[in-house]
Amino acid sequence: MAAELTEVTATKCFEGWQKIFSHKSDELKCAMRFGIYLPPQSEKEKVPVLYWLSGLTCTEENFVTKAGAQRYAADHGVAIVTPDTSPRGCNIKGEDDSWDFGTGAGFYLDATQDDWKTNYRMYSYITKEVSYKEQCKLPEVIQANFPVLANKQSILGHSMGGHGALVCFLRNPGKYASVSAFAPICNPSECPWGQKAFSGYLGADRDQWKFQRYDACHLMQDYDGPKVDILIDQGKADNFLTAGQLLPDNLTVVCAKKDVPLKLRMQDGYDHSYYFIASFIGDHIAHHAKYLKAS
């Protein structure tokens, strides 16, 4: 059964279409929105698809309006799906109390704690293919409703979304052809944003954090999937880097131990913003297109 989608906007862009849809997610038990850019090639054939995961405070719109990705997606003939960053309006106590926890801060995990575990299931929403009920998980919704190739998908993201992209890739070897990130939270168990999110969504017990498998550095230690090169761009003038929220060096160490090729590009003068993302998004889409065309 095809999921019921409501088209919110449709805007022509570089000969393709940038659209926003809403749908009811059974996984998250609330209405969700996502963006999808359909390149001109998708009018004639199915195309590969990139999943972009945004950072704290974002909706499905930030990337769509600020990254300037549509030009490159049209050049390479890839679709880009941009989910929202959390469930919304679930009436959970404290969901709107801070910008780095709750609404806009789903952290791409499946919560285990009582208040959050019913709705905060962003990991399953983003990754899962098979539903026992109906199409309530994003890849199913996308594959059922749009001209995309089911077996050609890759994932990328920014900050909290970079963490999400790395986790989705490392936990599902072979599912995504490639992964890349802008200023990702590389080791959430060891930084204030991650510790706040993991304590709230997964509980205070740090052993559980490891068991639940949402830290890219831990996952990389156990990774035995395809050794595709991982592209990460990180601005050297990023306040969140100096505040110890991102910890790219920790990931570098584990990748070196595991002999996984990590291309970490430290970019002079760039901060954490979408100006930084817009400056390098073309390189990231070209990186993924290389894998998606070859796989």
Ligand X SMILES: N[C@@H](CCC(=O)N[C@@H](CSC=O)C(=O)NCC(=O)O)C(=O)O
Query: Which of 240, 246, 245, 228 has its CA nearest to residue 288?
Result: 228
Q: Is 23 a catalytic residue?
A: no
Q: Is 26 a catalytic residue?
A: no
Burial per residue of 160-174, b for 16 or more beta-carbon CB atoms within 10 angstroms, e otherwise: bbbbbbbbbbbbeee
Report 17-76 residues binding ligand X (CB under 6 A): 55-58, 62, 66
* Contact indicator for 173, 224 with CB cutoff of 8 Å: yes
Distance in Å, CB of 56 to ligand X, minimum:
4
Stretch that binds ligand X, among 35-43, 44-52, 202-210, 266-274 (CB under 6 A): 266-274
Cβ-based nearer residue to ligand X, 27 or 60: 60
User: Which residues sit opposite 98 in a β-bridge?
Assistant: 101
Rounded-to-integer distance, Cα 202 and Cα 120, Å: 11
Cβ-based nearer residue to ligand X, 77 or 106: 106
Number of neighbouring beta carbons within 10 Å of residue 112: 14
Q: Is 272 a catalytic residue?
A: yes
**Residue 203 falls in which region: left (phi positive, over 0), alpha (psi -120 to 50) or beta:** left
Q: Sheet holding 262-267: strands in order across?
A: 5-13, 16-25, 30-38, 79-83, 47-53, 148-158, 179-182, 230-235, 262-267
Report 92-121 residues binding ligand X (CB under 6 A): 99
Stretch that binds ligand X, among 146-154, 158-166, 220-228, 252-260 (CB under 6 A): 158-166
Distance in Å, CB of 60 to ligand X, minimum:
12
Report 209-228 residues binding ligand X (CB under 6 A): none
Distance in Å, CB of 246 to ligand X, minimum:
9
Distance in Å, CB of 274 to ligand X, minimum:
5
Cβ-based nearer residue to ligand X, 50 or 56: 56
Q: Which residues bind ligand X (CB under 6 A)?
A: 55-58, 62, 66, 99, 158-160, 272-274
